[in-house]
Amino acid sequence: MTTPNERLSQAETLQFLAAHANNPPYIPERDDSLDTMTPQACPKGVHADWAVDSEDTHTCPWCALDQARAESDKHRNERDELKKRVAELDRELGKTIDQRDRVEDVADQLAYAIAPAEAIGEHSSENDPWQNALDIVTPAAKVDELKKQVAALNDRLHDAAVTRSEPS
């Protein structure tokens, strides 16, 4: 026989044809399967007709492609809107972080105005100088409350003294 790149000799060609005379090989030019194709038409009447190899009605492939493109455009627009929203939220987060940092700076200034760093310490996992400063200020607030109570008692004492000194 021959290799794939060689041509058949005349004798081999005749032998092949004689062997297949009653059972011809598949030859695409002689394909009768196109007769079994079912014609299809675009339901919208927009696209060209086509044929399928079954009797079922199929979706117009061009209409399906148009629908897929429309959905893709919709999703692309949604994605673009979400990207804008993410950028907006990132800016807002940046502002919030800046505000937090400014508030922490003010809280540090207040804490160190109440007492020196040696008294209230530095920020760490085991130390909170803001709480320490608050603890230092709290007794002063209690002193103010005690002063008010003393003043109230003095007023009552004065009133009692005045009441006793008045003739009945």
Model confidence over 54-87: pLDDT tens digits?
666 667 888 888 889 999 999 999 999 999 999 9
pTM: 0.45
Residue 52: which region, alpha, beta or left (left: phi > 0; alpha: psi -120 to 50)? beta
Say which residues have a Cβ less than 8 Å from residue 8's Cβ, sequence separation at least 6.
2, 16
Q: Which of 18, 56, 23 is nearest to 40 (CA)?
A: 56
Model confidence over 128-137: pLDDT tens digits?
999 899 888 8
